Each structure stands twice: as structure tokens, then as C-alpha cells.
Amino acid sequence: MTKVEWCDQYYIGNERIDREHQAMFELVNSLQRAIDDGESMQVLESMLEVMAQHTIAHFQHEEDLMRDHDYPGYTRHKQCHDRLIQKVAKLIKEFQEGEAIVMQSLTKFLADWLKHHIKGEDQKMILFFQANHFNHDVQPSLRVANALAANTTH
Ligand SMILES: [Fe+2]
């Protein structure tokens, strides 16, 4: 049983991006609850589609932000996004074709991917914006500053 808990280390300091990340955590948890409750394949499939749509829109927002700021890590970061979208699209297709996919491992994969990506590529992106004083759309708070400081010490 997978559950992703939001905590301060996941704040990156951009209000919109943080809100969308929190929504993604919730979507993973809702999917896990639905699996645990034995919901029908139709319900699980529609939840997967909502998750895919939300993820695509969220990645688009991050990619717009990176392009607007000429972020040098754009290509690498976008590749991470594209790979996840391909993986989720493949899973949905398998699901629609009735292949037995292990839903527990799907939610674990999504939860692990999200935590790793936010603490890695997303925080690197925000550190670049801050270092270049692109603070007009990045709103660091004390907890964000602490999380970033903790992240850069190792
Ligand atoms: Fe990202």
C-alpha cells in the first residue's frame, strides 16, 4: 500500500507549481485508495486518465517557466517529463487492452518518481531562477529556503 505524504522538503517555492505537485500527491493517494477499495477497472481507468491529463498540464507549466527563463537544464528536465508521460500512456493503453498490470507497483512507481523528481530536477530549476534573480514568479518562504539549503548540502 503506497501513500505519499506531502512535507516541507517538497516545496520548491513557486506557488502554482507547489499547488500542482500537491494535487499530484493527492491523485496518487486517491488512486491507491481506489485500488485498496477494490474499485472497478472503469473507475481506475478514468482516474488514470485524470492523472495523465493533470500531469501533462503541469509539465507544460514547468516547461513554459523554464523556456521563459532560458533555463540551461531545459532539455534534460523535459526528457524526464516526456519519459514519464510515455510510461503513463503505455500503462493506460495496456489497461485498456485488458492486460493485467500490477496497480500496486504503478502507484509505487508514481509516488517514487514524484518525490525523486521534485527534490531533484524541480529544485535545481528553482535554484537557477533564484540564482539569476528571477524572483518575480518564485516566492521563497523560510521553509523553502531551508528545504533548498538542506538539498544543496549533499
Ligand atoms: Fe519537473
- Work out the end-to-end distance of the chain between its first and last CA atoms, rounded to an integer number of angstroms: 30
Residue among 53, 18, 50 nearest 31 (CA):
50
Q: Reduced to 3 states, what is the DSSP secondary structure of residue 123?
A: helix
For 116-141, the pLDDT digits (tens) are 999 999 999 988 888 876 655 555 44
146 C-alpha vs ligand 1 centroid, how far in Å?
Answer: 20
121 C-alpha vs ligand 1 centroid, how far in Å?
Answer: 6
62 C-alpha vs ligand 1 centroid, how far in Å?
Answer: 6
Model's pTM, two decimal places?
0.79
81 C-alpha vs ligand 1 centroid, how far in Å?
Answer: 6
User: What's the confidence (pLDDT) of residue 118?
Assistant: 93
Q: What share of the chain is helix, strand, coil (3-state, %, to 5)?
A: 75, 0, 25
User: What's the confidence (pLDDT) of residue 22?
Assistant: 94
55 C-alpha vs ligand 1 centroid, how far in Å?
Answer: 10
* H-assigned helices in 37-135: 41-68, 74-96, 103-117, 123-131
69 C-alpha vs ligand 1 centroid, how far in Å?
Answer: 15
Residue among 76, 79, 84, 77 nearest 122 (CA):
77
Distance CA 69, CA 116 (A): 23
- Per the CB < 8 A criterion, the answer to whether 113 and 84 are in contact is yes
Q: Could you give the domains of the chain?
A: 8-152 (1.20.120.50)
Q: What are the cell numbers at 70?
A: 532560458
147 C-alpha vs ligand 1 centroid, how far in Å?
Answer: 17
Residue ranges in the chain whose pLDDT is less than 50: 140-142, 152-154
User: What's the confidence (pLDDT) of residue 142?
Assistant: 46
123 C-alpha vs ligand 1 centroid, how far in Å?
Answer: 9
